[in-house]
């Protein structure tokens, strides 16, 4: 039967026939990528300011990455965690050196890293003998993932509605609200999860005061601070971990997205407090720490350092911020800009999707998040010329919008 089947064309219509309707895909079938440019199957070149939702830190077609993947794929694609696999060891050593922490657990996706962190936090809290010390808190406006634990820590109703009941023993602290923080944490708290720069929530950085108070309260109540670096980590904000910028001193750190250079890979890194929490059989995953993904991760981390991509993130990111600020002087549609390396949020006066669609018409891929925030997460390799092209196009879109509004008045 299979031989006679004619494949459906790769169109939105076929997509509707084949898949559950959980993604709002763009009307673009992609063929390949070159640097910061994604190429459609009709040859159209798009400047990619989304980078696979913050995954493609090296852009497309990096030979060091594809060679590391091919080399490892030829040797061994999978063996399972019954065995010791050299790429896992090398990657773990790198992550420990970068973080100064003590132990690593490898998984496949961001949400799985969060699940592992929740489990580690709860089991860690067990040792204190209080059966109520199991509360896991997060901050309003946050996003931690789609599986039940991670979803229970996630703020947006659109991700949760209809899926209740959520995990019990979870709760939310108002973002950057010191009074609420003091009210919510207690001796029952096992962990507080923090995205130092909230991504899905619209690119907002947690305040220094909030982090300082959180650390004081950790002393008082003995809980863990978990940094969700899944979107902001791996150099995106100009430092390898965004938490170092506010000296958050986390007990657990979750990484994913760019970690596997585009292959599924995530990590939980923990400090001395949690080194003995997981014991044999407690937790695991068949694919976690896949050797090909780890080889890609090693190449990716090396390239970030060799190519000074964290410095580039800060230089090009600041340039974009300054240029958008200039644009805001002539385009009142821009309300605010927040920039942390190449994690950039531009608040606009209407649904950001409008601008994402207009940009797509001009072959630039930008992303809308948090209703009225344009989110830019370009590859860390983006250069000034490409950044300027994005700004010029944004200027054009905003100008055309004003012109259209005056002609209809
Ligand atoms: C901060 C943060 N945490 C967790 C996740 C979940 O990661 P994944 O989609 O790999 O499960 C995401 C994904 O966007 C994220 O941005």
Q: Where are the domains of the chain?
A: 2-61+308-408, 76-306
Report how far ligand 1's centroid is from the alpha carbon of 268 (Å): 13
Cα gap 189→132, rounded to integer Å = 8
Pocket test of ligand 1: the residue of 196, 231, 264 to mutate, having most ligand atoms within 8 Å of its CB, is: 231
Q: What is residue 198's three-state secondary structure?
A: strand
pLDDT, position 402: 86
Nearest CA to ligand 1 atom 10: 110
Are 344 and 54 a contacting pair, CB within 8 Å?
no
- The CATH number for 2-61+308-408, chosen from 2.30.110.10, 3.40.50.300, 3.20.20.100, 3.90.1150.10, is 3.90.1150.10
Cα gap 143→61, rounded to integer Å = 30
Are 366 and 375 a contacting pair, CB within 8 Å?
yes
pLDDT, position 126: 97
Other C-beta atoms lying within 10 Å of the C-beta of residue 214: 22
353 Cβ contact partners less than 8 Å away, ≥ 6 residues apart: 368
Are 333 and 398 a contacting pair, CB within 8 Å?
yes
Cis peptide upstream of residue 399 (ω within 30 degrees of 0): no
Cα gap 87→261, rounded to integer Å = 14
Cα gap 341→40, rounded to integer Å = 28
Cα gap 91→82, rounded to integer Å = 18
149 Cβ contact partners less than 8 Å away, ≥ 6 residues apart: 114, 115, 118, 119, 136, 167
pLDDT, position 407: 79
Nearest CA to ligand 1 atom 4: 144
Q: What does the pLDDT profile of the chain (409 residues) look like in tens digits? A: 556 789 999 999 999 999 999 999 999 999 999 999 999 999 999 999 999 999 999 999 999 999 999 999 999 999 999 999 999 999 999 999 999 999 999 999 999 999 999 999 999 999 999 999 999 999 999 999 999 999 999 988 889 999 999 999 999 999 999 999 999 999 999 999 999 999 999 999 999 999 999 999 999 999 999 999 999 999 999 999 999 999 999 999 999 999 999 999 999 999 999 999 999 999 999 999 999 999 999 999 999 999 999 999 999 999 999 999 999 999 999 999 999 999 999 999 999 999 999 999 999 999 999 899 999 999 999 999 999 999 999 999 999 998 888 877 6
Cα gap 187→133, rounded to integer Å = 7
Q: Is 228 exposed, middle or buried (0-12, 13-18, 19+ CB in 10 A)?
A: buried
pTM (2 d.p.):
0.97
Nearest CA to ligand 1 atom 3: 144
Ligand 1: lining residues by beta carbon, under 6 Å:
109-111, 114, 143-145, 195, 199-200, 228, 230-231, 256
- Considering the segment(s) 76-306 as one domain, its CATH architecture is 3-Layer(aba) Sandwich (3.40)
């Amino acid at each position: 039967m299979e031989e006679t089947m004619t494949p459906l064309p790769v169109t939105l219509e076929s997509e509707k026939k084949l898949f559950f309707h959980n993604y709002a895909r763009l009307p673009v079938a992609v063929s390949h990528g070159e640097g910061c440019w994604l190429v459609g199957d009709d040859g159209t070149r798009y400047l990619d300011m989304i980078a696979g939702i913050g995954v493609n830190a090296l852009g497309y077609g990096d030979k060091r990455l594809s060679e590391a993947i091919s080399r490892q794929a030829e040797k061994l694609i999978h063996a399972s965690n019954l065995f010791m696999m050299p790429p896992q060891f090398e990657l773990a050593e790198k992550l420990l050196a970068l973080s100064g922490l003590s132990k690593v657990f490898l998984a496949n996706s961001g949400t799985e890293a969060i699940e592992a962190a929740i489990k580690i936090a709860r089991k860690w809290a067990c040792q204190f003998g209080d059966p109520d010390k199991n509360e896991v808190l997060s901050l309003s406006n946050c996003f931690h993932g789609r599986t039940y634990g991670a979803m229970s820590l996630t703020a947006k109703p659109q991700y949760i509605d209809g899926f209740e009941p959520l995990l019990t023993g979870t709760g939310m602290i108002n973002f950057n609200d010191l009074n609420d923080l003091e009210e919510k944490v207690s001796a029952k708290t096992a962990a507080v999860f923090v995205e130092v720069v909230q991504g899905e929530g619209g690119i907002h950085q947690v305040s220094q005061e909030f982090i300082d108070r959180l650390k004081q309260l950790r002393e008082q109540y003995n809980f863990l601070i978990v940094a969700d670096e899944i979107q902001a980590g791996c150099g995106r904000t100009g430092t390898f971990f965004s938490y170092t910028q506010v000296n958050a001193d986390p007990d657990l750190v979750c990484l994913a997205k760019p970690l596997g250079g585009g292959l599924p890979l995530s990590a939980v890194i923990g400090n001395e407090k949690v080194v003995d929490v997981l014991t044999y059989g407690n937790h695991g995953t068949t694919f976690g720490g896949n050797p090909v993904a780890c080889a890609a991760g090693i190449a990716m981390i090396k390239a970030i350092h060799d190519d000074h991509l964290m410095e580039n993130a800060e230089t090009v990111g600041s340039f974009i911020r300054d240029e958008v600020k200039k644009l805001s002087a002539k385009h009142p549609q821009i309300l605010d800009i927040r920039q942390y390396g190449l994690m950039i949020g531009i608040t606009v006066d209407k649904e950001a999707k409008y601008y994402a669609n207009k940009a797509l018409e001009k072959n630039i891929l930008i992303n809308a998040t948090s209703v009225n925030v344009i989110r830019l997460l370009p590859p860390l390799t983006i250069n000034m010329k490409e950044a300027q092209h994005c700004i010029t196009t944004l200027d054009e879109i905003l100008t055309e919008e004003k012109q259209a509004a005056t002609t209809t008045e």
